[in-house]
Amino acid sequence: MRAPRLNRALVLEAAERVADGAGGHVLSWVALGTLWAEVKPGSGRERAGEFVTLSTVPYRITVRASAQDSASRPRPEQRLRDGARVFRIAAVSEADAAGLYLTCFAHEEVVA
Chunked in runs of 10, what are the mean pLDDT values of the chain (112 residues)? 89 92 89 96 73 76 93 94 93 91 90 51
Who contacts 11 (Cβ-Cβ below 8 Å, separation ≥6)? 31, 33, 34, 35, 80, 81, 82
Half-sphere exposure in the Cβ direction for 50 (13 Å, CA): 0
Give residue 60's pLDDT.
96
Q: What is the DSSP letter of 4?
A: P
Spatial CA neighbour of 85 closest among 41, 46, 47, 23: 41
Three-state SS for 93?
strand
Residues 15, 27 contacting (CB under 8 angstroms): yes
